[in-house]
């Protein structure tokens, strides 16, 4: 895809949807294109392994690279002009070293955390027992 960064997310997950809305509100250059993995049209249109995409947020960069989880969030933040500085801070040691673990912890336990926003999650990856999409 040219001219944009594709962000694959679980549209049945409140935390994922809230994250999308947060990023969209800050994407003044409209560089981010969000793809809901639960949309029937997307399920037949993408040439990527949908189950692999659902394990954690996946981003396809303008040059075609696939970034997952923490690295995907760094790409999203880097596309937002007022948040690039934060992507640089998170991408530098020591945050670079702990960021992926924190991301995986939140994704895996999002239903158990006190600020649970994912109680409306209806997808197959929303059990809270395995990998969560975001």
Distance CA(5)–CA(11), nearest Å, equals 17
pLDDT band, very low/low/confident/very high, at 129 (cuts 50, 70, 90): very low
pLDDT (tens digit per residue) in 33-86: 998 887 877 655 555 666 666 678 889 999 989 899 999 999 999 999 999 999
Smallest Cα–Cα separation from 68: which of 54, 87, 78, 82? 54
Element (H, E) at 20: helix 14-26
Better-scored residue on pLDDT, 8 or 120:
8
Residue 116 falls inside a structural domain: no
Structure tokens belonging to residue 96: 């670079």
* Strand ranges in the chain using DSSP code E only, listed in sequence order: 5-9, 32-36, 58-60, 66-68
58 belongs to a structural domain? yes
* 115 falls within a domain: no
Range of the domain at 89: 5-109
pLDDT score of 54: 66
| Residue 121 belongs to some domain of the structure | no
Residue 114 lies in a domain: no
Q: Which residues contact 21 (CB under 8 A, 6 or more apart)?
A: none
Is residue 47 in a domain? yes
Q: How many domains does the chain have?
A: 1
| Confidence class for position 110, pLDDT limits 50, 70, 90 | low
21: in domain: yes
């Amino acid at each position: 895809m040219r001219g944009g960064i594709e962000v694959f997310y679980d549209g049945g997950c409140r935390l994922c949807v809230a994250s999308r809305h947060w990023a969209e509100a800050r994407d003044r250059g409209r560089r981010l294109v969000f793809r809901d993995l639960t949309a029937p049209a997307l399920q037949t249109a993408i040439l990527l392994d949908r189950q692999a995409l659902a394990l954690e947020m996946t981003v396809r960069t303008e040059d075609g690279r696939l970034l997952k989880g923490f690295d995907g969030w760094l790409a999203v933040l880097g596309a937002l002009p007022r948040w690039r500085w934060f992507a640089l801070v998170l991408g530098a040691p020591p945050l670079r070293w702990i960021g992926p673990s924190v991301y995986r912890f939140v994704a895996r336990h999002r239903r158990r955390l006190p600020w649970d926003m994912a109680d409306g999650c209806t997808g197959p990856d929303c059990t809270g027992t395995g990998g969560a999409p975001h």
